[in-house]
């Protein structure tokens, strides 16, 4: 099994010192940078935008993972050309295949996100098209929401389906409610990418917390 990666949610950083914060994350060993984009419709808040994306892209060479929590994502994907990964929600419109194709057209690897109440069947149908399935383990746009434990059952279900289809190269991620208290359990469930924001920046900060996450994943630095 490949080692579990940590994608750090940049919205939890001090955006007024964005260059310094990204440099801290790189120095501390972050694997990816994760940017949430919310439109106030699909998710109840308005957060992240194209200007912030361009600033982050300019300031870091780390893989940049953009998570679009917006209605009709196929209309917006092109604005994030330059991202390494673009993830759209299965629930955000009727044209999931088109949104995935658009992400690939602009040179990104394509991800599909699933909310806690969404079955895996829709993304299984696109197993040959997607590079990442991101399980959102909280209701999107509600800060402080608690991790939904049933998400790990969905990880196991999807892993089995992907292996049956010969699509084991599709990565599986989890976003939402991940802290150092449950990171080891999440990694042990077979998750390839863990997204965490506030848990990385709180307390001792990225310099210690990223190493603690890596240790929880069983990584040897």
**Is 36 tagged catalytic?**
yes
Which candidate in 39, 65, 131, 175 is catalytic? 175
Radius of gyration of the chain (CA): 16
| Neighbour tally for 211: CB within 10 Å | 15
**Is 84 tagged catalytic?**
no
Residues 114 and 118: their CA atoms lie apart, in Å, by: 6
- Which residues have a Cβ under 8 Å from the Cβ of 144 and sit 6 or more positions away? none
Beta strands in 40-170 (DSSP E): 46-47, 64-69, 85-89, 109-114, 132-136
220: exposed, middle or buried (Cβ count in 10 Å: 0-12, 13-18, 19+): exposed
Which candidate in 36, 65, 131, 192 is catalytic? 36
Using the 8-state DSSP alphabet, how is residue 116 labeled?
T
Q: How far is CA 18 from the centre of its chain?
A: 19
Q: Which residues pair with 33 in a beta bridge?
A: 8, 64
Smallest CA-to-CA distance from 96 within 76, 131, 119, 72 is with: 72
Residues 33 and 56: their CA atoms lie apart, in Å, by: 9
- Catalytic residue numbers read 36, 175
């Amino acid at each position: 099994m490949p080692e579990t990666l940590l994608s750090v949610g940049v919205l939890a950083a001090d955006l007024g010192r964005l260059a310094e914060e990204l440099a801290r994350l790189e120095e501390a060993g972050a694997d990816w940078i994760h940017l949430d984009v919310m439109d106030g419709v699909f998710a109840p808040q308005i957060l992240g935008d194209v200007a912030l994306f361009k600033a982050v892209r300019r300031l870091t060479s780390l893989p940049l993972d953009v998570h679009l929590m917006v209605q009709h994502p196929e209309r917006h994907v092109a604005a994030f050309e330059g991202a390494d990964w673009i993830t759209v929600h299965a629930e955000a419109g009727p044209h999931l295949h088109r949104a995935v194709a658009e992400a690939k057209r602009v040179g990104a690897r394509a991800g599909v996100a699933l909310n806690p109440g969404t079955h895996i069947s829709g993304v299984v149908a696109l197993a040959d098209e997607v590079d990442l399935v991101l399980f959102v383990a909280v209701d999107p746009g509600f800060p402080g929401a608690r991790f939904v434990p049933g998400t790990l059952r969905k990880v196991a279900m999807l892993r089995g389906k992907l292996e049956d289809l010969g699509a084991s190269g599709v990565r599986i991620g989890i976003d939402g409610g991940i802290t150092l208290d449950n990171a080891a359990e999440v990694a042990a469930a077979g998750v390839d990418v863990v997204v965490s924001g506030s848990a990385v920046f709180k307390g001792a900060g990225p310099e210690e917390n990223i190493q603690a996450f890596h240790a929880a994943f069983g990584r040897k630095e």
